[in-house]
Structure 1
Amino acid sequence: MEFTFTIIYLVIIATIIEINTILFAVTGIKRQVARFQVISLMTGTGFTTGESEVILGHPFRRKLGIFLILFGAFSFAVVVSSLSSILSNDVLTPKVLYIEAGLILLFLLLKMPFFQKNLSDKLKEKSEETFEIDELPVSQILLTDEADCLLEIKIDEKSSYISKSINECIHKDEDILVLFLMRGELRIRNKLNDCKIQAGDRLLVYGDKQLIEEKFREEIKKSEKETV
């Protein structure tokens, strides 16, 4: 009897994790990251400050996060107590099966590509209509197309862009915009186009993904090697 109860409880927990993973993924988070965040929120562990901003910066993700935190806090007491009372007669009652079947049905619906697309479109429209632009995550505002790219470019001492101004590096007809330049703790925006680039600078660039990758190919390669 205890074994049957444990299996049912684990299935319910696993299904809730997968449902919320899909819902997070629908909002634009990678599936692997979404699953980690869901488990972190439920257990109260591993929810790092950097990645938490991805959740907190989106209205729908915040709601999911609140649910998962509350569910994680009370599930082990409330769900165990509820299911124990349902199973008190040593019989697997239909109520448990209804709960499990309902969760599995919801999970299967969310797995369907067309359902995910429709849900994603509705969530996007709702966010744009309900929330001010400064409440939306940067990715939802700037990265509206697959060709869009927002990237930090690190300039080392061997970069060909050193001692050149932003205007000299990026031509007016190129679909690339430098949002600001970070030099240590200093963030430079005023008269940015005339600013001479120095070793150690970091440029936050926005624009066409392919063009950015071509123009800053060497800088991107070096950054990728550093992270490996």
Structure 2
Amino acid sequence: MSSLLPIVSLLLTIVVSLIVVRVATHALVLTGLSQQLARFQARSAFTGAGFTTSESEKVAKHPVRRRIIMLLMLLGNAGIVTAVSSLMLSFVETGEGVTGTLTFRILAMVVGVTILWLIARSPWIDRRTTETIEWALKRWTDLEVRDYSSLLHLSRGYAVVEFSVEEGDWLARRRLKELKLPDEGVVVLGIQRSSDEYVGAPLGRTELVPGDVLILYGPKEILENLDRRRQGSAGNWDHHKAVDKQREKEAEESLMHEASPQEQGIE
């Protein structure tokens, strides 16, 4: 049995590595990354592949994600060295005599790795592992720190602003469904009432009154125009121009999407 100890050590190293990568993946997801991107970055850091992409820059600029990646790099180096050492020892004869043939050792290692691979690919185990890891991370860490600036693309012409509704504003004393702000590319995230009531994700029937503070998300230039917009024909005209501009933008994006080689299967 002593000759199998290095193989057991190798399999345990692989198990620990899979768990570490899985935990790191869900930790990155809690900071705002997508599941696919988080998995790619976790595996890249753990294996030391070091891909240089725009997504990697986002990870490096985020303090929490950067700490996770640095820890993965350290654990990855230790894990790879341990795995290689165990693999070499698996095929080195000891002085106590041969207790198993080379074929038996290779077979034991292949069977063990195959079983681990099947377990890692199991959807049921993946769901249960995901639930357990997410519960543990939320229970014992404060990793739920979203990079909202990156998520909302605030550096690409979009902004989140607070907008105070005053008497005479184009928005004042009108319902959201009448304003049709989404047609301009503007989303009302919430309303802080003067009575300290907060309305999150308000519905179309919600009426805006002077004293309300709106939290708006949309293109910067549209938000700036909305801040200056007053009641009357001039305000309505600004609304129509903003709607036309948003439609032109959507049409351009649609054309770009249709012309994309990937979408048409052209390499």
Pairwise TM-score range, normalised by the shorter structure: 0.3 to 0.5
User: When the two structures are superposed, what TM-score results if normalisation uses the length of structure 2?
Assistant: 0.42
Q: Which has the larger radius of gyration?
A: 2
